[in-house]
Structure 1
Amino acid sequence: MQEFVDRSHLNASTIEAWVKAEWLIADRPGHQFSEQDLARARLIQDLKGDLGVNDEGIALVLYLLDQLYGLRCLLRDIQAMRTTDVTRSH
């Protein structure tokens, strides 16, 4: 947790609030965060600070980004299946 606090330049109470709001989700109990979590925290900081987005807006932006990420993963899986099918048919 301390490493994430240092790298994100957030205080522990802010991180706890964002975890409670499900804006950040630790990989494992004890708040072990990934590089993706750090990028997400920086995005939240930009949305709140630089752009003045309120909490409801941040929740919506994060939801839409998560949906987009899920669709990208699905598209990548479909492309991998197509590649496998083409390889098998030759």
Structure 2
Amino acid sequence: MIEKTVKIELDSGLQARPAAYFVQEANRFDSHIFLENDDKKVNAKSIMGLMSLALTKGEEIKLIIEGEDEEEAMEYLTSLVREKV
């Protein structure tokens, strides 16, 4: 299991289209992937879970990934919140 705190740099945060794209890409990996913000932890492969966080630009999230492809998943998903989708 690996964890990393990441600052969201997308202008629109992780809402609507960027959130849907993030969930779609998270589902490509076999690992279990979670996002944590404040005291709320959600499955990053669930659009409803991700949308419930209402993440905006500048917020910090913790990515928690566990599984065979966790390193690859961490690198890729981290890049999604730091770049324009």
TM-score by length of 2: 0.30
Higher RCO (CA-CA < 8 Å; seq separation 6+): 2
The structure with the largest alpha-carbon Rg is: 1
More helix by share: 1
TM-score by length of 1: 0.29
